[in-house]
Amino acid sequence: MKTLKVLFLDEVADMYDAERRIVKALPKMAKAATCDKLKKAILAHLKETEGHVTKLEQVFQSFDEKARGKTCEATVGLLKEGDEIAADFKGSPAINAALISAAQKVEHYEMASYGCLHEWAGLLGNKEAAGLLQEILEQEKAANETLTGLARTGSNEEALSGCDAAESEEADGSELGNHRGGTRPAGISRNRSEAISR
């Protein structure tokens, strides 16, 4: 019978594979970034991600299971898309906004996955696993917030204007974008873009 425990361990294996793939992908993403703050943020999250791999191994151990990976097709697809975006926008003023978008897609997938795993660990009565998964979830949320902040304080404006936002006295970015760090299309007023988003 396929129980919640079976589902839980299967999904932990999925995320174990995902995190190991992300560890390999983040250095390439950092190299592609032209914004120093974005590079630093990506490399800081690389260290956290390495820690996530270890924490997931501990989750397996807390269930007396050997750590195992199961190919995470979603992460494979998201990372492939990220590689394509980095190649397509290399040398473009939109490169950093593009990289942030690709990274946030991964973060949102991870947040959804770890949210479920944390709840399931609690239902299964494993406080150790629930605590470890909560730690990972909080770090993923923080990474996502950092990316949103970088998008709003420079990368989106840089992509929109085609110039280095750091050189622009007016590049604020606080009026632009949504929680995922996107920009509204050129030529659409703020009121119009708000109406569209509703």
pLDDT digits (tens, 9 = 90+) for 67-81: 999 999 999 999 999
In this predicted structure, what is the pLDDT of residue 161? 77
Of 155, 122, 154, 150, residue with least CA distance to 137:
122
Q: Where are the domains of the chain?
A: 4-197
Structure confidence at residue 77 (pLDDT): 98
* Helix/strand/coil (H/E/C) assignment for every residue in 101-133: HHHHHHHHHHHHHHHHHHHHHHHCCCHHHHHHH
Q: Distance between CA 115 and CA 120 in Å, rounded?
A: 9
The four Cα atoms 147, 152, 158, 164 give a dihedral, to 10 degrees, of -90
Angle at which helices 127-150 and 95-123 pack, to 10 degrees? Answer: 160
Q: Could you tell me the CA-to-CA distances from 50 to 5, 14, 36, 46, 115 in Å, in that order?
A: 25, 16, 21, 6, 19
For the chain, the residue count is 198
Of the candidates 74, 73, 72, 79, the residue with the CA atom closest to the CA atom of residue 12: 72
3-state secondary structure 14-29: HHHHHHHHHHHHHHHH
Q: Is 160 helix (H, G, I), strand (E, B) or coil?
A: helix
Question: 11-63: per-residue pLDDT in tens?
Answer: 999 999 999 999 999 999 999 999 999 999 999 999 999 999 999 999 999 99
Angle of helix 73-88 versus helix 4-32 axis, rounded to 10: 10
Name the token pair of 105: 């897609």
Superfamily of segment(s) 4-197: Ferritin, core subunit, four-helix bundle (1.20.1260.10)
pLDDT of residue 113 exceeding 80: yes
